[in-house]
Amino acid sequence: MKVIMLGLLNRIILTIFISIITTSSFAEEINTKYLNTDWSFKGIFGTFERASLQRGYQVYQEVCSGCHSVQHLSYRNLFEKGGPEFSIEEAKAIATQFEVEDGPNSDGEMFMRSGRLSDKFVKPYPNVEASTAANGGAYPPDMSVLAKARAGGADYIYSLLLGYEEAPTGFELDDGVYYNKYMPGNKIKMSAPLLDGIVEYSDGTQATTEQMAKDVTAFLVWASEPHLEAQHRMGFKAIIYLIILLTLVYMSKQKVWSRFGSKEEPKEETFDKVEKVVTKYEGEDPKTFK
């Protein structure tokens, strides 16, 4: 019985394991070939580097925001805990750089005013159609949840930003289409967005293409999961708490069940009876049966 049960347990655990592997494999199999770098936000203690997120915001603002919206972020998110953590003044200053349409006012007119912390990030185009039309028929995707919307996540975005190459000979490219090693189908309508020194970091960090790609990717990961740090912190605490609770509950369970243990004696009695009968015939040496 024990042996059967143990075998059963092993097999079932293996089965669950395999099924989890298989089900997640379709998301992961492309993943392996991406470039990656030491992301600070990976792992159970993963947190963002504030400076990197602030630089990432700068890259987004100066390079990406011409075409890509991040419509689910608000300016207040820039100073909130767990993000780039600009000071509240800096965040206000950023917000006021933008013109936001508001209204209607008491005359029924829409009007423009400068941005506030409570405003959502201003979009470069009023709607998807305008955005598509202005970008040669390809909609530059909203980047609010981009890191979660692509298989490969951060690694994919990072690789894509660094994946521009000369097209191999014989690879047909239309005008306004570029070759990218990591884009599915290798054709992308966005020209290489990052060039060395395209932004000037105020903290003195060298604005190499790799550095900018890393910073802006971190920024996008934060944009799609602004509570990531809280999530990791709470998860760690919750699991430690549960493990302690489990230990206590398991010990109580053993204690409770031990009350019932005495009831299992009949087994031994039967065993003894069988042994007694056999010994009667075979003498004192029951080893012959082993």
Partner 1 sequence: MSENKYIPKTKLAKWFDSRLPLLSLSHHLKEYPTPKNLNYWWTFGGILTFCLITQIITGVILGMHYVAHTDHAFESIEHIMRDVNYGWLLRYVHANGASMFFLAVYIHIFRSLFYGSYKAPREVIWIIGVIIYLLMMATAFMGYVLPWGQMSFWGATVITNLFSAIPLVGESITTWLWGGYAIDNPTLTRFYALHYLLPFLIFGLIILHIWALHVPGNNNPTGIDIKKNSNETMPFHPYMVMKDITALLVFIIIFFWFVFFAPNALGHPDNYIEANPLVTPTHIVPEWYLLPFYAILRAIPSKLGGVIFMFAAIFVLVLLPWLDTSKVRSSIFRPLYRKFFWVLVATVILLGYLGAKPPEGIYLVLSRIATAYYFIHFLILLPVLGRYEKTDQLPMSISDPVLNKPGLIDKFKKAAGQYEGDNVGSFK
Give the binding site for partner 1 (CB under 8 A).
1-2, 4-5, 8, 11-12, 15-16, 18-19, 22-27, 44, 72, 77, 141, 144-146, 148-151, 153, 184, 224-227, 230-232, 234-236, 238-239, 242-243, 245-246, 249-250, 252-253, 256-257, 260, 263-264, 266-267, 270-271, 273-275, 277-278, 281-282, 286, 289-290
* Burial (CB count within 10 angstroms: exposed 0-12, middle 13-18, buried 19+), residue 49: middle
DSSP strand pairing (178-179 vs 187-188):
antiparallel
Task: Look at residues 205, 123, 216, 200 and name the one whose alpha carbon lies nearest to residue 161.
Answer: 216
DSSP strand pairing (99-102 vs 187-188):
unpaired
Nearer to partner 1, 93 or 243 (CB): 243
Nearer to partner 1, 24 or 208 (CB): 24
**Shortest separation between residue 96's beta carbon and partner 1, angstroms:** 22
Enclosing H/E stretch for 6: helix 2-28
Phi-psi region of 136 (alpha: psi -120 to 50; beta: other; left: phi over 0): left
Nearer to partner 1, 139 or 201 (CB): 139
**Shortest separation between residue 104's beta carbon and partner 1, angstroms:** 20
**Shortest separation between residue 201's beta carbon and partner 1, angstroms:** 27
Those residues whose C-beta lies under 8 Å from the C-beta of residue 244, and which sit 6 or more positions away, are none
* Burial (CB count within 10 angstroms: exposed 0-12, middle 13-18, buried 19+), residue 84: buried
**Shortest separation between residue 240's beta carbon and partner 1, angstroms:** 10
Nearer to partner 1, 88 or 251 (CB): 251
Query: 20 by DSSP, 3-state: which?
Result: helix
Nearer to partner 1, 170 or 266 (CB): 266
**Shortest separation between residue 85's beta carbon and partner 1, angstroms:** 16
**Shortest separation between residue 246's beta carbon and partner 1, angstroms:** 4
Nearer to partner 1, 5 or 110 (CB): 5
Q: How far apart are CA 220 and CA 48, in angstroms?
A: 11
